[in-house]
Amino acid sequence: MGKHLLLPGLLLALPLTAAWTAFNCLVTEGSRLPLVSRFFLICPLDYSLPLLALCSSVTNLTQALEAVPRGVEGLCLTGSTSVLPPDAFSHFPGLKVLGLSLRLTQLLPGALRGLGQLRQLSFMGIKMDNNLYLPSDAFGNLSSLQRLAFRGPCLEGSVGVRLPPSLRWLSVQQSCLQNVSTLANIFPDLVLGASSGDGWTLDKLDLSLNRKLKMASPGALQGLKLGTLHLDHTNMGATAVMELGLQRLEILSVVKTGKAKLPARVIAHFELQELNLGFTQIGHIAPEDLSSCHSLKSLVLGSNGLTDLPPGFLAAMPRLQRLILRDNNLQSVMLCTNEAGAESGLQTLDLSANRLHTLPPATFSCLPHLRKLLLGENQLVCLEGQVFKGLRRLETLDLAENPLVTLGQGWLAPLLALTTLNLLDTQMVLSPAWDLQGPENLHNLGLRFPSGPSGVVLSLPMRLTSLELQAVSGMEPWKLAPNVFPVLQTLTLNGWGLWLEAQSVSKIFPALRHLSLLGNSLEALCSQDTSSFLWQLPGLKQLSVRGDGHSPRPCCITGLPSLQELQLQGLQSRDRPRPVLLEELVRELPKLEVLQLSRTGLETLSATAFQGLGSLQVLVLDWERGLVLDSSLQEHSPQMPQYMYFLIVSLACKCVNAWVGPWLERSPRTYMHIVSQQLCEPETGGHSKNPLFPFLWSHCPKTLELELFLGSFALLLLLISLPFLQEARNSWILYLQALFRAWLQGLKGQRGEAKKFLYDVFVSHCREDQGWVVRELLPALEGCPPAGPGLRLCLPERDFEPGKDVADNVADSMAGSRVTLCVLSQQALLSPWCRLELHLATSLLLASSQPPVLLLVFLEPVSRHQLPRYHRLARLLRCGDYHVWPKEGENKDDFWAWLGSRLEQSRLW
């Protein structure tokens, strides 16, 4: 973690009205810990804890803790702090787990005061020569402490440190410890009870990785009652344990402690129940060494170079339930003798990674209680039909990574209780004996498609709940039979080896909840229509997609209404990489809570990407390069995911990212964590580098000032525009648009030799005056001679082009008419469209070199002040270009005579 720079985090909204700014800290919920677990490896934390924090580069402990949410129950600190002051964690009384990977040299008295709920405490040092001094009452207040671990620091300067009575696990690893007696001097409670006969009890004492540990003074741990003792990777042999004076020992682990033999005396002395001798290179087990092993329940002999097992191996350990023989050189196993009725209580047998070629029929005949059998990574070519006879209780069988070709007739029939079968990475050939229908309780199956003729239907058990299918490159897709798996919840497709009809997928997998697509071309996923089989799984909750590096375009996941977790990896084409936007990868997923992206080629992240992800809580980006964070995220931050983790991600060294630095220092409602040092190459070249945000801030001031200026200008313009909103209600925008269209039409007409008009008269009127236009005006003007002149009138409700914008219709029709006739009344002057048409006609009179004729007809008396732009109308209209329609009962001849004379002047009558 020292090489990573944890940039200032953003706000953690818990709840939304209150938050913390966490500097150099990664904050997560326990349920989300698997998403960032690799950063917590230095001090493992409990997944069940609701809120966890990892803070690095801690130099000032008080300042660092001020940025940590008070509600954390798991806390890990890394940095260079050397002294732990009194009441260092007094503001975190609810802490359950605390890990300190600091350069601590001293704990002052009362440093851990107030941590009454602390269950697990770990000290990790940078170097083994880092001496840590502990006061005698360092852990006196930790009444709930169950696990205490030291890894790295040397404790030899501490003496008489009292352990809390609740302690059950003590670990001192990778320290300067050379003699176990030194441990008793540091923690005298381990041996103080010996004189009274009441020894201290520990479930586990771990002294692993102490490379200098090779001595054990007699009685060093006199009277201590131990459940488990770990001496892995030390120079202490198993026989030295007998000299420690332990009152009880049940489990001993001496992994990689040098060449040794089976410690028969130690087993017999303590009546050990479990023994782990991995990587000790025993090579051979003498038959006489087995005589003292009758108490063992678990024996681990992995990686010991064993070539065979002595006769009566299992018979000498009647209580043995777990036997691990993984990674040896066994070419055959003779676990069962020919003695009639001889049975073993063995329940777990691991023979993986050996050199087994064949399994005789009687190999497992004496193991009726066996529940788990691991035979992967061997050289098994065929299995006889009776090889598993008698294993009626076997639940798990692993045959993966064997060159299996043929299977005997009814080979699965004896395994009545089998629930899990792994046949991945095999080379099976389809044959009449090939059958997986035997076990009725088989729920979990991993299978590589057998080679065989194309178009063959693959028969699988119907009651499967988990299925993994592995395809071979270039093989023909298989069909499944039966075509319904009613309880299948988890499906993994490694390569496209399965042929599925999109319309029937929901019927084949009605209960599917978890889907993994590994190493596929993803062509079916990238289909954006409903024929893609993925979109036929409305109940899917988890989806994991890992591409094969050959997808020509991004694969967009959308339309899954129940999806809660989505992981996309390796979608970027290695041959033709191209940058993508997040909205090209995911769209409408209304219930998505967790989104993980790795090596997808993501280049830009903007607020638009979150529009269809209303429930997103966690976004994890990993192994993405040159990322641009659009400034729209700044305004969108209240709606963004609560947690955003940028792990191995580099931000683009561009001025578009300059806003991110100041944004990180404020407190938006999202907790963002950026891992890895963000650097910018200098513009002048060379090998020196500069931190990203200070570099952008100093090199992009004009850009930032311009953005501020544009933002201020836009706000000012909006405020200035407010008084014009009333005018906007009267369609002034539409008026400008129509005026421009009319001017453009007139300009086109001037270019022609003679302008051709589509209409003779354009009639502007409101809906309330439409009756007068139809009854009086229309018959008088459109009537054929001698009743009328037969003119062509343009009426908006009749002659406007359907689907065309109204403003465009007005402008085109007015410019294409010889005369504009406006029918005015009180209602017309209140109509936005009539006012628009009158505005436009008035403007055309002023702007056109050959102004059209404008006539006004008043159906009722109207005050001149009600007319829009009255003074302008008075100047433009010649005397006599308007007339009043006579009242009811008055003579109308004068009106028609006036209208006829005006139209005659325009050569229309």
Q: Are 757 and 850 in contact (CB under 8 A)?
A: no
Of the listed ranges 291-300, 383-392, 494-503, 558-567, the least confidently predicted one is 494-503
pLDDT at 876: 58
pLDDT at 701: 63
Q: Which residue has the higher pLDDT, 225 or 437?
A: 225
pLDDT at 306: 92
> Would you place residue 18 in the very low, low, confident or very high pLDDT band (cuts 50, 70, 90)?
very low
List, as one string, the DSSP characters of 83-98.
EE-TTTTTT-TT--EE
List, as one string, the DSSP characters of 557-617.
B---TT--EEEEES-S-SSS---EEGGGTB---TT--EEEEESS-EEEE-GGGGTT-TT--
Q: Are 377 and 402 in contact (CB under 8 A)?
A: yes
* Mean pLDDT on 640-661: 84
pLDDT at 429: 76
What is the rounded CA–CA span in Å between residue 179 and residue 658? 57
Per-residue pLDDT of 50-102, as tens digits, reads: 999 888 888 889 888 887 888 999 999 998 899 999 999 999 999 999 999 99
Q: What is the 3-state secondary structure (H, E, C) of 634-651?
A: HHHHHHCCCEEEECCEEE
* Mean pLDDT on 438-446: 87
List, as one string, the DSSP characters of 662-677.
HHHHS--SSEEEE-S-
pLDDT at 502: 64
The residues near 526 (Cβ < 8 Å, ≥ 6 apart) are 532, 551, 553, 554, 555, 556
Structure tokens belonging to residue 347 = 């329940």
Q: Are strands 817-824 and 759-764 parallel, antiparallel or unpaired?
A: parallel
End-to-end C-alpha distance for the chain, whole angstroms: 94
pLDDT at 805: 78
Indicate the helix (H) or strand (E) that contains 254: none
> Would you place residue 20 in the very low, low, confident or very high pLDDT band (cuts 50, 70, 90)?
very low
Q: Which residue has the higher pLDDT, 337 or 185?
A: 185
pLDDT at 7: 30
Q: Within 13 Å, how many C-alpha atoms sit on residue 433's CB side?
A: 15
What is the rounded CA–CA span in Å between residue 738 and residue 796? 15
The residues near 289 (Cβ < 8 Å, ≥ 6 apart) are 261, 262, 264
Tell me: pLDDT of 549 over 60. yes
Q: Which residue has the higher pLDDT, 743 or 818?
A: 818
What is the rounded CA–CA span in Å between residue 238 and residue 247? 16
pLDDT at 804: 82
* Mean pLDDT on 309-331: 93
> Would you place residue 16 in the very low, low, confident or very high pLDDT band (cuts 50, 70, 90)?
very low
pLDDT at 22: 46
Q: Which residue has the higher pLDDT, 434 or 655?
A: 655
Question: Count H helices, E strands: the chain?
Answer: 20, 46
Structure tokens belonging to residue 131 = 């001496």
* Mean pLDDT on 140-148: 94
Q: Which of 672, 677, 679 lies closest to 8, judged by CA?
A: 672
Of the listed ranges 241-250, 344-353, 381-390, 832-841, the least confidently predicted one is 832-841
pTM: 0.72
Of the listed ranges 105-119, 731-745, 824-838, the least confidently predicted one is 731-745
> Would you place residue 562 in the very low, low, confident or very high pLDDT band (cuts 50, 70, 90)?
very high
List, as one string, the DSSP characters of 372-396.
EEE--SS---EE-TTTTTT-TT--E
Q: Are 805 and 873 in contact (CB under 8 A)?
A: no
pLDDT at 681: 62
Indicate the helix (H) or strand (E) that contains 248: none
Q: Which residue has the higher pLDDT, 673 or 538?
A: 538
* Mean pLDDT on 565-581: 83
29-65 b/e (C-beta count within 10 Å ≥ 16 → b)? bbebbebbeebbebbbbeeebebbbbbbbbeebeebb
Torsion sign across C-alpha atoms 814, 815, 816, 818: positive
DSSP state of 864: G
Per-residue pLDDT of 667-677, as tens digits, reads: 455 666 676 56
Q: Is 760 helix (H, G, I), strand (E, B) or coil?
A: strand
pLDDT at 270: 95
What is the rounded CA–CA span in Å between residue 39 and residue 427? 39
> Would you place residue 727 in the very low, low, confident or very high pLDDT band (cuts 50, 70, 90)?
very low
Per-residue pLDDT of 849-862, as tens digits, reads: 555 678 888 888 88
* Mean pLDDT on 539-557: 82
342-357 b/e (C-beta count within 10 Å ≥ 16 → b)? ebbebbbbbbbbbebe
Tell me: pLDDT of 530 over 50. no
> Would you place residue 45 in the very low, low, confident or very high pLDDT band (cuts 50, 70, 90)?
confident
Per-residue pLDDT of 784-833, as tens digits, reads: 777 678 888 898 888 888 878 777 788 888 888 888 889 988 888 888 88
> Would you place residue 17 in the very low, low, confident or very high pLDDT band (cuts 50, 70, 90)?
very low
What is the rounded CA–CA span in Å between residue 213 and residue 210? 5
Q: Are 126 and 100 in contact (CB under 8 A)?
A: no
What is the rounded CA–CA span in Å between residue 393 and residue 290? 27
> Would you place residue 428 in the very low, low, confident or very high pLDDT band (cuts 50, 70, 90)?
confident
Number of neighbours of residue 453 by Cβ within 10 angstroms: 7
Q: Which amino acid is at 564?
A: Q
Q: Counting every residue, how long is the chain?
A: 909
* Mean pLDDT on 184-195: 79
- Whose tokens are 């070539």? That residue is 307
What is the rounded CA–CA span in Å between residue 602 and residue 585? 9
pLDDT at 729: 45
Per-residue pLDDT of 260-273, as tens digits, reads: 788 999 999 999 99
What is the rounded CA–CA span in Å between residue 176 and residue 636? 54
Tell me: pLDDT of 2 over 70. no
